[in-house]
A = this chain, B = another copy of it.
């Protein structure tokens, strides 16, 4: 009756060394976000299949792990399609469940509601190095706060956390969906082509200004629009002057308030920040999800060639689900990427110094074992991590093993010497 030893395809067992880091990061997240007034909440890992297939999830809806109906509801021989067989699925993100949760409990929740959600999500992606089919997501969201106080608090909370994990020199790139659209409109692109334009713009950091120009031309856009569009990206800078430049240039197309709000977010974060990072205006920042309605942001780290988190305002999504308009803004950190970076860096979890192993001779009688147990109890009560182990024949090897586990101090107890 041998078991299949490997985990299921694309999912992983987590060994103690990685778990120690994960546990520490989870604890720091809960602690830090609590000081910013966020409350933990949780939804079941299983969602109604109808909710998961509501078209809010984009491509992720193709990657759902679906759960078979049970008992009399399962009619295998009458089933024509997959959906005849299933009634639930594993959640692929935390946003759909948050919307359902808010719709279900709005009366019991404060307004604004500052939510912290950590939990696994599942996507049946093609397995590839470093990407898994079960992974932890970590979202903070503020529901019911229409002002930029939400954006400021979300960015400060997230960057304070990263600072506590010793991340330095990272960049919060920020833009606004409405500036993105105003730039396209001002250049003469038709609204129904915006998505195509943005998909190309999104490649700016990879293919550069000329590459973007070529791809836009290849799509058949007017050269005049392309030139006008790119001239702005040539002139804009990443500081607040960049925001001001666009506010003036887009006069009549962009409500100046949106630019002023963005400036105020950048200024406030810069003035209060607790970590060594910069906040930079990036008019090429697109972020894929079409549900964003206002400011959008992303964390870039040089040591990791991509985003380690992002978010933005999505004022129209919750209302679609609940029937009541609810302003909303969220920031999600890439938990798995952060853990991976800490592991690569050989990160040492603080406060685990002094781990002590008490080695006892085999066959210790009750009275002498009590001496050892009392010694362990004394150390543990003071917070030290203590293990008691029976001495092995190869004590040298045993100690080497324990050292690998982080044990630094050894005490040996021999029956005759007690």
Contact = CB atoms under 8 A, between A and B. Distances in A.
A411 to B, nearest CB: 13
B13 A105 contact: yes
Contacts of A108: 15
Interface string A96-115: 10011101110011111010
Nearest to A46: B8
Interface size class of A (residues with CB under 8 A): 35 or more
A44 interface: yes
A134 B46 contact: yes
Interface string A1-35: 11111111001111110011011000100100011
Given A2-B321, A85-B76, A156-B373, A39 B20 contact: yes
B377 A272 contact: yes
Query: For the complex formed by this chain, how many copies does it contain in all?
Result: 2
B2 A134 contact: no
A6 to B, nearest CB: 6
Contacts of A402: 110
A159 to B, nearest CB: 12
* Interface of chain A: mostly helix, strand, loop or mixed: mixed
A389 interface: yes
A395 to B, nearest CB: 14
Nearest to A111: B401
Contacts of A357: 37
A380 B35 contact: yes
Interface of A: 1-8, 11-16, 19-20, 22-23, 27, 30, 34-37, 39-48, 50-51, 54-55, 65-68, 70, 74, 76, 79-82, 85-88, 90, 96, 99-101, 103-105, 108-112, 114, 120, 122, 124, 134, 145, 147, 149, 152-153, 156, 160, 264, 267-268, 271-272, 274, 320-323, 357, 360, 366, 369-370, 373-374, 377, 380-381, 383-390, 401-402, 404-405
